[in-house]
Chains A and B, each alone.
Chain A
Amino acid sequence: MQLRIHAALALLLVPLSSACLVDRTTTNVPISREVVGTLTPGTTTAREAVAALGAPLEVVQLGLRSAYRYEFVVSKRAGLVLILVGLISRDTRSDRAWLFFDEEDVLTHVAATFEGADSQYAMPWDKVHE
């Protein structure tokens, strides 16, 4: 009987003594792989690129040239907060696109990386992206 009472007390303590958290944060809107694929170096102008992808997050002047940055960031966080131990892990990845224009505002280079979807919920000891 006494053992059952102890067990019940221990079970009551469990929900009071621990918490877990899972959250996902995104910044900006996803970049369309298809739209980026339609941009053609030597042909597409800055005006056409902005019409297709929207306003860039950043415009960098490179002498007479320029570069536009588009980025969609995904951050996933998982944690376990026990009475005496707190374990929290965050994994941040992004979809990025850089468009390079010459002095005539014609596209010269496109660079795109799509890793936002690879962001993972994990514990600190987990080995991700390996």
Chain B
Amino acid sequence: MSASRHIARAASLTLLALLSCSSCVRLNWNRNRWQTPPNKEGSAAVIAAGAPLGEVLSVLGAPVAVREHRRDSVVITYGWDEVDSKGVNLSVPVSRQLSLSLDVRNNRTGARGLLLFFDRDLRLIAAEEGWLQNPRDGVRTRRPSLPETVLSTS
């Protein structure tokens, strides 16, 4: 038997061995994309101009969140994310009832976000870009309260 046939046979056996222990090691590559970032030039322009809410919405579109910020002020949030997660999963059967597994991966939760703050006249006064733990919140929200008419009669 020639050397090349020996190599081919060894490679085949190795491949079969790998296939037969398929539950032992697995490489995972996951990518999760969520929404799209707002237009960079558009956001830079409206931020620089201190644009009113209507103009900001027409340039950047609908935000993912709108919240009240302080009294009568508004903050709108544009959120987006792209998570690239790679990892290794190792699973070793110890007995009929027991199997040990180890999962190692780079992972994170949350999203990128652009927060735009408006004053009570709905004119843009500040902007902040950063990391959002919860894209729907953006900033600390006010606690829900009863309407004043209900409070005054109770």
Contact = CB atoms under 8 A, between A and B. Distances in A.
A99 B67 CA distance: 13
A interface, how many residues as a size bin? Answer: 35 or more
A94 B35 contact: yes
A114 to B, nearest CB: 9
Nearest to A69: B66
Contacts of B53: 100, 109
Contacts of B54: 41, 109
A95 to B, nearest CB: 9
B63 interface: yes
Interface stretch (B22-30, B41-49, B123-131): B22-30
Interface in A80-130: 83-94, 96-98, 100, 109-113, 115, 118, 122, 124, 128-129
Contacts of A96: 61-64
Nearest to B118: A62
Given A17-B22, A85-B26, A98 B62 contact: yes
Interface residues of B, number: 34
A63 B36 contact: no
Contacts of B142: 61
Interface in B8-66: 12, 18-19, 22, 25-36, 53-54, 57-58, 61-64, 66
Given A17-B19, A93-B36, A62 B66 contact: yes
A112 B63 CA distance: 9
A62 B66 CA distance: 9
Contacts, number: 100
A63 B120 contact: yes
A51 interface: no
B29 A112 contact: no
A98 B63 contact: yes
B68 A61 contact: yes
B29 A87 contact: yes
A17 B19 CA distance: 8
A111 B72 CA distance: 19
Interface string A11-22: 001000100000
Contacts of A94: 35
Contact of A92 (B22, B33, B71): B33
23 contacts: A17-B22, A60-B66, A62-B72, A63-B72, A63-B73, A64-B72, A65-B74, A69-B66, A83-B19, A83-B26, A85-B29, A88-B30, A89-B32, A90-B31, A92-B35, A98-B62, A111-B57, A111-B58, A111-B63, A112-B62, A115-B36, A124-B29, A124-B84
The 8 closest A-B pairs by CB, nearest first: A63-B72, A111-B57, A113-B61, A124-B31, A96-B62, A111-B62, A113-B62, A83-B22
